[in-house]
């Protein structure tokens, strides 16, 4: 049960990180492009701001699951550390269930939002070419941007499920049979 889910999550998180890396690079690039256009060509572009936000939202949605999987979500864990192993696993399970509730609610509402009226709004400045000659353009709707958080929530739910199974195994004393999660170094904003 945990094996396939763990492998799925590992694969999804890797893919999410790869796209996230591209997204953050694009954010830097278009922001710099705007500075250059404004100063060198005296011709500010309408779209870099929104394009960069588009990328930032997707970066967040796709990279946050990696953080959750590796304990990168900020929490005060002194009580969890102080409790005996089983009790700690029990408390973890409760906390993870609360997190699951939040995530499922988020996914439900988020999906409704994407399909609702707010999603039908046009983005202010983002277009996609629909022909090779670049003479017809499709205006990207806001829902494409809003989908980032929904996809993020869906991936977080999968990761959270994996964490719940781990906590449950810990509770029944089978923690040593769990496969390890490789731990990438996480930074901090402070």
Please report, as residue ranges, which positions from 125 to 164 form the binding site for another protein (by CB under 8 A): 125, 142, 145-146, 149
* 52 sits near another protein (criterion: CB under 8 A): yes
- The one segment of 2-10, 115-123, 129-137, 168-176 that binds another protein by CB under 8 A: 115-123
Using the 8-state DSSP alphabet, how is residue 23 labeled?
Answer: H
Q: Tell me the site size for another protein, rule CB under 8 A.
A: 74
Structure tokens at 93: 């399970």
Q: Which is nearer to another protein, 5 or 106 (CB)?
A: 106
Phi, psi for 128 (deg, rounded to 5): -120, 135
* 170 sits near another protein (criterion: CB under 8 A): no
CA distance 155 to 64: 9
CA distance 185 to 74: 15
State the residue for tokens 């011709």.
43
Q: Which of 1, 75, 134, 180 binds another protein (CB under 8 A)?
A: 75
CB of 2 to another protein, least distance (A): 21
Q: Which is nearer to another protein, 3 or 103 (CB)?
A: 103
State the residue for tokens 């995530």.
103
Site string for another protein, 7-46 (x = CB under 8 A): ----------x--xx-xxx-xx--xx-xx--xx--xxx-x
Give the residue ranges of DSSP H helices in 41-186: 48-69, 78-82, 85-115, 117-120, 143-171
């Amino acid at each position: 049960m945990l094996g396939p889910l763990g492998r799925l999550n590992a694969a999804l998180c890797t893919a999410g990180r790869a796209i996230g890396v591209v997204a953050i690079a694009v954010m830097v690039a278009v922001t710099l492009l705007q500075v250059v256009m404004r100063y060198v060509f005296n011709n500010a572009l309408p779209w870099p701001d929104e394009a960069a936000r588009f990328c930032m939202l997707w970066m967040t949605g796709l990279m946050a699951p990696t953080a959750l999987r590796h304990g990168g979500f900020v929490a005060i864990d002194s009580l969890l550390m102080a409790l005996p192993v089983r009790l700690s696993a029990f408390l973890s399970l409760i906390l993870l269930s609360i997190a699951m509730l939040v995530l499922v609610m988020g996914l439900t509402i988020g999906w409704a939002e994407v399909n609702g009226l707010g999603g039908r709004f046009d983005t202010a400045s983002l277009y996609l070419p629909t022909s090779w000659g670049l003479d017809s353009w499709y205006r990207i709707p806001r829902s494409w941007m809003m989908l980032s958080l929904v996809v993020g929530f869906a991936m977080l739910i999968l990761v959270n499920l994996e964490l719940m199974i781990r906590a449950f195994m810990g509770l029944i004393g089978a923690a040593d049979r769990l496969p390890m999660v490789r731990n990438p170094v996480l930074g901090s904003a402070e």
